[in-house]
Each structure stands twice: as C-alpha cells, then as structure tokens.
C-alpha cells in the first residue's frame, strides 16, 4: 500500500493533522471559524455538571464506554439482556454470544449516520416511538432478529453474513426502518448500498470472516492474533477494520495516488499551514482524516469483548473523539466556535436553509471545507476539554470513551434541545448521504 494512503488511514494521522488545525485556530488563521477560547470554562463546567448529575456522587464507575450497546436499551427496555438470556438458554457459549453481538453491532453502527430531524421509529409490540441513533438501533435490532441480514431466512438464531448483506434491497431496508413519504430518512439508498458493499468485502476477506463472510468471526481472528490470552491490541483491530471497510465507502471520496482513504477530506486550513512551512508540500499533507464511523464501530465492538469474554484492550487511547454534529454542535451552541460572516452567509444561502422550523440555520454539504474544519476543531477542542473536565471531577478518572458517553455527546444533545426544542437539530446543518454522520 502507498505510504501516504496508509498514514492517512491510521489513527495517528487523525490527531496529528487536527493539531495543525488547532495551531491555526490559536493563531487566528482558520478559514471559516473564529475561536473564542474564553468560553471553554463554561463548556467544561456544563459537561462536568451533566456527568455529576447523572452519575454522582458514587456511580461514576458505572459510566459505560461510548458505544452502541446502551442505545439498544432506550426506554429502559433490556433488549440486549433478553437476547443474551435467550441465546444462552438455547446453548450458545460466550464465544458465540460475542460473535452474535458483533454481527448486530456491526450493521447497526454502519447504519447509524444521521437520520434527519423528521424520522421516527415505532417499535413493534411496545408501540414506543424513538428517533435518531436510538431509533436506528432499535430498528436494526428488529431487522437483525427477523434475519434481514442473513442469506438463510429460515435460521433459528440470527446472524449477519456476506451473502445476506449483498442481497439486501433498498425497499427491504426502507420497510424495516418504516420509511415513507410522511416519515423520511436521509440517505436510505446510500445506507443499503453501504451494507451491500460490506457484504462483498466480508466475503472477499474469508481469512478473517470465514467463507460465509460473518462479521462475528472477527472474534476468533482477534483471539488468535492476541499476544496474550487476556489482552487484545486496538491497533491490530483498527487495521483489520480499515482493511474491510475502506472498499465500501462511496467512490467519490478522497483518493491518494488512486487509493481510497475513506472519511478523509482536503482542508484549506491545513493547506495554508503546511504551505507556509513547506512550499513544496504534497497534496496529501492538506488532507484531514476522521474515519468517524469506523471509530464509532471500534468503540462499540470493543465492549462485547470486555463484557462477555472479559478481554482487555491495549492502545485504547489511540482512538479520538468522534467528530460529529453532537460533539461539534456543543462548541457552536456554547459560543466557543462561531462561523465567520462570509461562511455563515454562504451557508444561509444554501437552497435548503430556512427549512428548519426553529430558525434559519446554515447548511453545507458533508465534504464542504466548512464542515471539514468544524470536525477537525471538534477533535482539538474535546482533547482540551477532556483535561479540563478531569480537573473538575474531584479525582475521579474517566476514559475518553466515558467522556464521550456521559459528557460531550449527551451535553451536545441537551443544548440542542434547549436551543431548538422542536427539532433538536445541529446548529449547523449537514447534508448527509447516510454514510458519514
């Protein structure tokens, strides 16, 4: 593999490039945003208050890592616990239970780009209504249980396999997610296409996922590759997931020397910073990688290994914050970041701006330079916020995954609900194709 492409697919590159954007922010050299760092204390106070409200004074050790598991428990319904009980009742051992959870989490996370402000899911049997990430989680769980992602629809126990994913039709996904003219979801065809490509890639990597292309077979692969019987390496896991997932992303994404690099985008701020220090800098040096869905998947998949198999992970700190609209919206809504007038004006002139019922909000495409800069700044600011929150936690230690779960993501959602109560939308609207956010 080309060395530049390999670097831009790495976790290391995400933080290293974002730090260059952070330096530009400190120097007032951003392309689209102004940084108001004096507001960071307010953000740290608010995020800390949310964590202490929900887990204080003596339940901080129960904060789960940021991951898909808890989304399945929305409405205080123990859906995963029931699955585990059923599977074990019918003779599944811990290895098979973990494989099935990986199967479920894999498709559920990859479907978990933003659903939009209007989509809702009414759960069969319970008749409760859910939206956004939790709604997608519950919908994907019901599809999983109905064998929607398996080639053999008559199986007694649900699995995901490559052939089943390759055969998935747009209409089947739309039906499973209750999508209609009156209940629209962003990018339903793009999501279905992503899963079809996932099926093809799973089947192409039979050495890891078996001849059936089952995501859960990564459990066996990781255990065999472990340096000890109780410890797995997140960097090995990351490289394995990237090998599988890079081929499935839309073909119009950024490439380096003809090689796709996934969720990574050119950024003018990086280009200006690198050119100022090195006039002969390569184009690849102006690209900011994020790999958000792959990181979200990585965070989510580590949990079954820990909870079911009691295995631990090394190099977890290599994972970054997730540069998506809840984490990024927190800093915009609380005044740490503000769009420069010319960028704001351009976003407000977007054809769909003004369609939000709360207020007129700027709108940009997912690959727009504004959005790429916003996402890079989100990484920088959460890294800084992490240290600020820990100083306010009276000696309680939190992992980045716990900060994302109990702190920034939840805080971003709550501020959005306070500011835009009818839609709870992001302060900056991203036109998503269903495969990024």
Instruction: Write the CB contacts of 68 (distance below 8 Å, at least 6 apart in sequence).
Output: 105, 108, 109, 112, 137, 296, 300, 303
429/295 same-domain check: yes
* Average pLDDT for the chain: 92
Residue 358: pLDDT above 90?
no
User: What is the end-to-end Cα distance of the chain in Å, rounded?
Assistant: 27
Last residue within a domain, chosen from 225, 258, 284: 225
* Partners of 265 in beta bridges: 288
In a domain, 11, yes or no: yes
pLDDT of residue 432: 74
379/325 same-domain check: yes
Residue 154 banded pLDDT, cuts 50, 70, 90: confident
Place of tokens 């003596």: 58
Residue 345: pLDDT above 80?
yes
Q: Are 144 and 173 in contact (CB under 8 A)?
A: no
In a domain, 26, yes or no: yes
420/299 same-domain check: yes
Residue range 294-314: average pLDDT?
95
In a domain, 261, yes or no: no
61/165 same-domain check: no
User: From CA 406, how far away is CA 344, in angstroms rounded?
Assistant: 31
Between the CA of residue 65 and those of 20, 44, 79, 108, 141, what are the distances in Å? 28, 19, 18, 17, 20
pLDDT of residue 129: 95
56/101 same-domain check: no
Residue 114: pLDDT above 80?
no
183/52 same-domain check: no
pLDDT of residue 1: 66
DSSP class of residue 266 equals: E
In a domain, 374, yes or no: yes
Last residue within a domain, chosen from 225, 256, 277: 225
| Token code pair at residue 429 | 């609207």
71/38 same-domain check: no
pLDDT of residue 359: 60
In a domain, 151, yes or no: yes
Residue 352 banded pLDDT, cuts 50, 70, 90: confident
In a domain, 203, yes or no: yes
For residue 53, give its domain range. 1-65+269-437
H helices present in 63-185, as ranges:
79-89, 94-110, 132-145, 162-166, 170-176
DSSP class of residue 160 equals: -
Closest by CA position to 335, among listed 13, 35, 19: 35
10 Å CB burial of residue 394 (0-12, 13-18, 19+) is exposed
pLDDT of residue 171: 96
pLDDT of residue 245: 95
Between the CA of residue 40 and those of 147, 166, 263, 403, 425, what are the distances in Å? 47, 46, 28, 16, 22
Residue range 197-217: average pLDDT?
97
In a domain, 246, yes or no: no
310/217 same-domain check: no
Closest by CA position to 416, among listed 427, 405, 406, 408: 427
- In DSSP notation, 162-210 reads HHHHHT--HHHHHHHTT-BTTB--TTHHHHHHHHHHHHHHHHHTHHHHT
* Partners of 122 in beta bridges: 129
The pLDDT tens digits of the residues spanning 71-93 come to 999 999 999 999 999 999 888 99
In a domain, 264, yes or no: no
Residue 172: pLDDT above 80?
yes
pTM above 0.85, yes or no: yes
User: From CA 164, how far away is CA 205, in angstroms rounded?
Assistant: 16
Residue range 234-250: average pLDDT?
94
Last residue within a domain, chosen from 225, 245, 278: 225
164/287 same-domain check: no
pLDDT of residue 125: 86
Residue range 27-36: average pLDDT?
97
Q: How far is C-alpha 77 from the geometric centre of its chain's CA atoms?
A: 23
Residue 232: pLDDT above 80?
yes
Residue 191: pLDDT above 80?
yes
Closest by CA position to 382, among listed 305, 295, 297, 315: 295
44/99 same-domain check: no
The pLDDT tens digits of the residues spanning 117-149 come to 789 999 998 889 999 889 999 999 999 999 999
Residue 435 banded pLDDT, cuts 50, 70, 90: low
Residue range 235-257: average pLDDT?
91
80/45 same-domain check: no
User: From CA 168, how far away is CA 250, in angstroms rounded?
Assistant: 17
Residue 227: pLDDT above 80?
no
């Amino acid at each position: 593999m080309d060395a530049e492409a390999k670097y831009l697919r790495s976790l290391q590159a995400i933080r290293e490039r974002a730090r260059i954007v952070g330096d530009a922010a400190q120097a007032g050299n951003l392309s689209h945003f102004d940084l108001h760092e004096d507001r960071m204390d307010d953000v740290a106070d608010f995020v800390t208050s949310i964590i202490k409200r929900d887990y204080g004074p003596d339940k901080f050790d129960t904060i789960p890592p940021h991951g898909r598991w808890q989304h399945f428990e929305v409405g205080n319904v123990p859906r995963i616990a029931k699955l585990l009980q059923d599977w074990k009742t019918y003779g599944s051992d811990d290895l098979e239970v973990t494989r099935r959870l990986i199967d479920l989490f894999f498709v559920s996370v990859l479907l978990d780009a933003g659903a939009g402000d209007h989509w809702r899911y009414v759960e069969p049997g319970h008749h409760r209504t859910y939206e956004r990430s939790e709604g997608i989680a519950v919908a994907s769980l019901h599809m999983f249980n109905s064998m929607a992602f398996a080639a053999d629809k008559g199986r007694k126990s649900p699995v995901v396999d490559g052939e089943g994913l390759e055969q998935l039709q747009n209409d089947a996904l739309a039906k499973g997610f209750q999508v209609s003219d009156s209940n629209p979801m962003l990018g339903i065809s793009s999501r279905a296409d992503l899963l079809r490509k996932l099926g093809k890639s799973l089947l192409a990597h039979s050495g890891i996922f078996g001849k059936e292309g089952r995501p859960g077979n990564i459990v066996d692969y990781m255990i065999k590759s472990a340096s000890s019987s109780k410890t797995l390496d997140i960097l090995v896991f990351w490289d394995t997931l990237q090998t599988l997932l890079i081929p499935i992303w839309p073909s119009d994404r950024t490439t380096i020397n003809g090689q796709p690099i996934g969720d990574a985008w050119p950024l003018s701020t990086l280009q200006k910073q690198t050119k100022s220090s090195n006039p002969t800098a390569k184009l690849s040096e102006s690209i900011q990688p994020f790999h958000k869905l792959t990181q979200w998947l990585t965070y989510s998949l580590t949990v079954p290994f820990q909870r079911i198999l009691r295995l631990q992970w090394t190099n977890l700190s290599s994972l970054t914050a997730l540069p998506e609209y809840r984490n990024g919206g927190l800093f915009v809504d609380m005044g740490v970041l503000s769009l420069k007038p010319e960028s704001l004006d351009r976003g407000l002139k977007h054809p769909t701006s003004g369609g939000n019922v709360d207020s007129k909000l700027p709108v940009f495409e997912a690959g727009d330079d504004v959005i790429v800069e916003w996402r890079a700044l989100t990484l920088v600011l959460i890294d800084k916020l992490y240290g600020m929150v820990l100083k306010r936690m009276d000696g309680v230690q939190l992992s980045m995954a716990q900060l994302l779960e109990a702190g920034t993501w939840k805080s971003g959602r709550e501020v959005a609900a306070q500011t835009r109560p009818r839609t709870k939308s992001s302060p900056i609207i991203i036109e998503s194709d269903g495969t990024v956010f």
